[in-house]
Amino acid sequence: MNYNKKSIEDIEVAGKRVLCRCDFNVPTKEGKITSDKRIVAALPTIEYLIEKGAKVILCSHMGKPKGEWKPELSLKIVADRLSELLGKEVIMASDVAGEDSKAKAASLKDGDVMLLENTRYIKGETKNDPELSKALAELADVFVNDAFGAAHRAHSSTSGVADYLPAVSGYLVQKEVSIMGKALANPERPFVAILGGAKVSDKLNVINNLLEKVDTLIIGGGMAYTFLAAQGYTVGKSLVDNEKLDYCKEMMAKAKAKGVNLLLPVDTAVAASFPSPIDAEIPVEYVDCTAIPTDQMGLDIGPKACAEFAAAAKAAKTVVWNGPMGVFENPTLAKGTIAVAQALADSDAVTIVGGGDSAAACEQLGFADKITHISTGGGASLEFLEGLELPGIACLEDK
């Protein structure tokens, strides 16, 4: 995939109607936004377009209405919050690309901002329906994609519309593509990748792709036990994906053949059962990964593994991290994830955290400002690490 894409600064937007796809899929409770982080993240692009005199038409999905008009998933609350943040009215359309949107888009003045209703209210959105793509394109002169979190989806509002309009990136997408693209295409070495999470099956292609690129691959989280089982160790009641044992053996052989240092945890926190509820206090002990008792399950990496993983991260020039080292939601079982987050925060390397739980960990621990880049897209950043082409990026014009 070509990572060298045009951005909003490479085109003339003054006086033009600009359709900007944002990621306003914000968490809500009882009709109120509980975190406006995604709205705030979109501000630099929106403010640039306003300042340059564009007529700004924003669009996004929220939740999974599956083609039905669900009032609780209306973007009206986003329009209200955005109005407060911008200090100017954001005009709310009552439809997606219908009569109201057309009328309001046609009457916009330079510097005005409007927001379309939830794009997933229309069934054709997730099917990348050409009719919807065309209807969205008819509202504008230029398309800007600033929703990296949805860039791995080939939907009408993320890529389909680019079939009919000149398409460029906003600042969020530009940053994701330039930093993650460079890390994968031309990293400063040593290049270390740290993968966690529960299942090997979620990261099959990521592991395979990263073994072509990294100097060291660290595997923690639940999926480490499948690798340990593939080496012939007894892992007790730990999570094991029996269908992926041969795959793990193949990956270990590939790492050896490529000269990649593959690090697995040397010790682990074990308990008799998974915590229920997830944040319940449970007694744990630390054992070597070669000696997990048959009646215990591994739920986090141990102190020796924490030290070894942290040392590898600190010695790197580029570090990519995706996935927690244990059951991060439980204070007792978050130590491994905290240790990795701390190591990245203390490192002088280019540090990239790929969405999801890893990003949440860095933010909760107050390390966000010490990380080079925290991705705004969990699924999109994973597919990026797999080396897949992301439809919402591929559709943008090359520089």
Catalytic residues: 38, 199, 356, 379
Burial class of residue 386 (count of CB atoms within 10 Å of its CB; 0-12, 13-18, 19+): middle
d(CA 201, CA 160): 30
User: How far apart are alpha carbons 34 and 260 in whole angstroms?
Assistant: 43
What distance in Å separates the CA atoms of residue 277 and residue 289, rounded to the nearest whole number? Answer: 26
Beta bridge partners, 193, equal 217, 320
Contacts for 229-237 with beta carbons within 8 Å, 24 or more apart?
231/264, 233/289, 233/290, 233/292, 234/292, 234/294, 235/289, 235/292, 235/298, 236/270, 236/292, 236/293, 236/294, 236/295, 236/296, 236/297, 236/298, 237/273, 237/294, 237/295, 237/296, 237/297
- CA-closest candidate to residue 162, choices 392, 384, 398: 392
Total Cβ atoms within 10 A of residue 64: 12
For residues 100-124, b (16+ Cβ closer than 10 Å) or e, as one string?
ebeebbeebeeebbbbbbbbbbbeb
The residue assigned the tokens 């701390």 is 342
**Which DSSP helix (H) or strand (E) runs through 330?**
none
Q: Return the bridge partners of 374, or none.
A: 353
Contact 221/324 with Cβ under 8 angstroms? yes
The encoded tokens of residue 200 equal 């090997």
DSSP class of 128: T
Q: Running DSSP on this structure, what letter comes out for residue 144?
A: E
Provide the β-strand partners of residue 32. 29
Q: Is 273 exposed, middle or buried (0-12, 13-18, 19+ CB in 10 A)?
A: exposed
Count of CB atoms situated within 10 Å of the CB of 163: 15
| Residues with Cβ within 8 Å of residue 269, at least 6 apart in sequence | 284, 285, 286, 298, 299, 300, 301, 302, 326, 332, 333, 335, 336
